[in-house]
Amino acid sequence: MDEEPLVRWDWIARNWSTGRVGSISSLLVDHIVMSGLPIVLGLLAALPIGLACVRWRRLYQPTAGVMNVIYALPSLPVFMFLLPLTGLTKATVIIPLTFYAVAVLIPAVVDGMTAIPDHVRQSAVAMGFNPLRRLLQVDLVLAMPVVLAGLRVVAVSSISLVSVGALIGQGGLGNLFTDAFKRDFPTPAVVGIALIVALALVADGALVFLQRMLTPWARVRRSA
């Protein structure tokens, strides 16, 4: 009997089509959605919470403590806990990943904001900036490198953790792993791993590029 090859290229070609549920391309789209939404939602939630923690410092320690506990929870039991509430839907995966994103991004926002020198804020005030304008045009801009560094961690971890949702039928590319295990057929697992790694590299590279575009002064300082 011939040994099964590690990759069956004919299987990949037959199962790539976008016109079929469960095809590789449809699983890829699901994976992008389920990993991308927590990144966006986590950032939208972490920004106001982090700014509140900077404004009222007493909030930070209890908030960070709660978020650390949430981040320490294993993803699979959390998915199982949500099943009675959200059912076998993408929300069962997206909700926990959003909380994980918030747990990482709140410290990033706080660290980025507290690292801004006081004399920079005072200069903005002296130039006539009101609090909102200073926040949008000075504080958040200068805090952006730290926030984007946290966002890179969130992006890579979300792309990886989505695959765990395959155990409840909502794992995007992770479904290729369960398929490979059930059939003792390695090709789907190899495809899933390769695409997840590629997604993580693309997401990280895009955020690095975004940081360079939004913080041109950092490039000037490094070149000097």
Q: Using one digit for the tens of pLDDT, what is the confidence trace for 167-179?
A: 777 888 888 888 8
Q: pLDDT higher for 221 or 107?
A: 107
**CA gyration radius for the chain?**
21
Q: pLDDT higher for 10 or 35?
A: 35
Residue type at position 111: D
- For residue 135, the model assigns a pLDDT of 82
Tokens 């984007």 -> residue? 148
Distance (Å, rounded) from C-alpha 1 to C-alpha 35? 41
121 within 8 A of 134, measured Cβ to Cβ: yes
- CATH fold of 19-219: MetI-like fold (1.10.3720)
Structure tokens at 94: 């997206």
Report which DSSP code applies to 90: T
- Please work out, in degrees rounded to the nearest 5, the angle formed at the alpha carbon of residue 105 by the alpha carbons of 34 and 172: 15
Residue type at position 31: H
Structure tokens at 221: 């300082």
Q: Using one digit for the tens of pLDDT, what is the confidence trace for 26-48?
A: 889 989 999 999 999 999 999 99
